Amino acid sequence: MTEFCCDLTAPTHSNEHAVILMRSLSVDRDLFPERSSKKLSVEGSNLKVHFRACDAKQLRTIVSSFLDLLQLTYQALQLGEEFEQ
């Protein structure tokens, strides 16, 4: 069976922000773990994500959904920074 994969790197300002992103985005379970999955890790100030899916359409769906959530989480981090200042 063919497996489709995608790797994504999301840069942040610091290791702390990368960890916050990882913790925030890893609470959602994969709906169909037998069909797709994602693994999150932190390297320095970067959030690394590895996606795996059983077909291209499923991969596109999980990556697109994840990017929507990533954008919201980035915005929340920015608001938090502005609030601290």
Residue 60, domain extent: 4-84
- Quote the CA–CA distance of 66 and 52 in Å, as a whole number: 13
Secondary structure letter of residue 31 according to DSSP: S
Digit-coded pLDDT (tens) for 19-58: 999 999 988 776 677 789 999 999 999 999 999 999 999 9
What CATH number does the domain containing 23 carry? 3.30.310.50
CB of 73 closer than 8 Å to CB of 21:
yes
Tell me the whole-structure pTM to 2 decimals: 0.85
Q: How far is CA 6 from each of CA 16, 38, 84, rounded to the nearest angstrom?
A: 24, 9, 35
Which bin fits 76, alpha (ψ -120 to 50), beta or left (φ > 0)? Answer: alpha
If one counts the domains in the chain, the total is: 1
The model's pLDDT over 6-25, given as tens digits with 9 standing for 90+, comes to: 999 999 999 999 999 999 99
